[in-house]
Structure 1
Amino acid sequence: MPHAYSRAEKAHQDNNEGVRLQKVLAQAGFGSRRKCEQIITDGRVEVDGELTTELGTRVDPHKQQIRVDGSRIRLDTRHITLALNKPKKVLSTMDDPKGRFTLRDIVGDRYERIFHMGRLDYDSEGLILMTNDGELSQHVMHPRYEVKKTYIATLEGRISGNVCRRLVTQGVNLDDGLIRLDHCAIIDSKRDETMVKVVLHSGKNRIVRRIFGAIGFPVRRLVRTQIGPIKLGEIKPGSYRVLSQTEVRTLSKEVGL
């Protein structure tokens, strides 16, 4: 009785010039070749929607869809994703007709068709993600995936822990509706100012400033320190770094890719 080949097996047969699957996984940041072989034999890899456990499997990573633990791996070497530390007085755009400093003044023209995923207002600082991967950008910015963002805010005045708790449990009514914080904690408190760490998934314009302004504690300084799993870390203001394949894969998984 002739063997009935699956679609994935047929594609592998027709792709003798392809790359061994374990090599593709290693290039995507899943560890050593031996570790990637173990991932395959453990039944964690799908090629074109079908489970693949054969170590001799060859694939074309640019034409075939490869998933590990349900998450698609991304190997397009033309795609680049950056983590950038935006200083104050820099616009979250690539060009400004008034000649003010923009993100282009930081990244230059080194990367083709790169754009920012979300914004920070002119006087805010911290993490901005940039990419030339349109699919990744759409998912990161889409409200459906509720990517959480972490900020350190320095407020005018001294607030109590009860205020933080109310912002999480009850929220505050703004002109465009009720908004709640996912997390709020006091980091430091002085007589005339309070430093708080806040986490929220809303991407509305100037949302952190509007929340605290609405309850009488204007924001003096605002720094975004994390977007999803990506942290600002030690990136200096006005500088950036290229995300690793592992970081891009983790971010992609969080937004459903």
Structure 2
Amino acid sequence: MPHAYTRAERAHSNQDEGVRLQKILAQAGFGSRRKCEEMITEGRVEVDGELTTELGTRVDLGRQEVRVDGSRVRLNPNHVTLALNKPRKVLSAMDDPKGRYTLSDIVGDKYDRIFHMGRLDYDSEGLILMTNDGELSEHVMHPRYEVQKTYIATVEGRIGGNICRRLVTQGVNLDDGLIRLDRCAIIDSSRDQTIVKVVLHSGKNRIVRRIFDAVGYPVRRLVRTQIGPIKLGEIKPGAYRVLSQAEVRALSKEVGL
């Protein structure tokens, strides 16, 4: 039967085998080596559930758990997470039997086993997150966490503030239940259309389009601009960027990792 190491034995073993704690934190995007040393001495870092203030501490992330301010440090050099700006008429899939343009046509084969976390419908645009980190993907897409998403919707007709208030306070009944917006704000309007910023947690299929259809204002254009802490920013349609370790950490914290 394999020997079950005690915490003390693991710590002793890792003094020779592991990587210095401040180096791990720096690689994970917590700042410079000096800043990470300060975080350790300030008592903000835990190793296997115990506060660690010794700068010489070595850690093996494969066997030990490190947390900073309660959030787990996750560091795998093979993991990559992307923010991609999906144009209209691109399928939120990695392949398509019908030969339509897909996300893999944008990303190519540079990254192994990368997959999209959630979808946008064929005619919608904006932010899609992609990763080859299975644990992160599972948490982002799990209904339990319902990551907040922000959209800019251009709808037919002139919407009054009363419609926005109703969608936030009362919501609207759809075929699959009652849904409320977290926030709704009119950005601009003319006689025949209104631009609205909406924020909601639900990831149900075509949810924003169905909400506005239900109140009589069909969506002409829909752009997702933010998922949790990750913003679309200046990414051009059909392009993507690699998220920083700090961004991945913020997203991980959002979904309970």
The corresponding residue for 2:92 is: 92
The number of residues matched between the two structures is 252
Residue deviations 1:213-255 (CA, integer Å, cap 9, x gap): 0111000000000000000000000000000000000000011
Amino acid at match of 1:159: I
After TM superposition, where is structure 1 displaced by more than 2 Å over at least 4 residues in a row?
6-10
Distance 1:47 1:7, change over 3 A: farther
* Partner SS for 2:63: coil
Bigger mean CA deviation after superposition, 13-22 or 222-231: 13-22
The match for 1:3 is none
Are residues 236 and 124 of structure 1, via their aligned partners in 2, closer, same or farther at CA, if it must alter by over 3 Å? same
Q: Provide the C-alpha distance between the structure 1 equivalents of 2:41 and 2:30, rounded to a whole number of angstroms.
A: 14
Secondary structure class of the residue paired with 2:24: helix
Partner of 2:238: 238
Provide the identity percentage.
82
Q: Which secondary structure state, in structure 2, belongs to the residue aligned with residue 220 of structure 1?
A: strand
Equivalents in 1 of 2:122, 2:234: separation in Å?
21
Secondary structure of 2:248's counterpart equals: helix
Residue 43 of structure 1 corresponds to: 43
Query: 1:147 touches 1:201 (CA, 8 Å); kept in 2?
Result: yes
Amino acid across the alignment from 1:112 = D
What secondary structure, in the 3-state scheme, does the structure 1 residue paired with 2:17 have?
coil
The code of the aligned residue for 1:12 comes to A
What residue number does 2:155 align with? 155
Structure 1 partner of 2:212: 212
The gaps in structure 2 that reach 5 residues or longer are none
Question: Secondary structure at the residue paired with 1:38?
Answer: helix
Give the C-alpha shift of residue 50 in structure 1: 1.7
Asked if the contact 1:22/1:40 (under 8 Å) is kept, the reply is: yes
User: What's 1:59 paired with?
Assistant: 59
**Contact kept? 1:21, 1:56, Cα under 8 Å:** yes
- The answer to whether the 8 Å contact 1:154/1:222 transfers is yes
Matches within 5 A, 1:111-190: 111-190=111-190
- The question of 1:199 aligning with 2:199 is answered yes
Letter in 1 for 2:45: V
Aligned-partner Cα distance in 2 for 1:77–1:135: 15
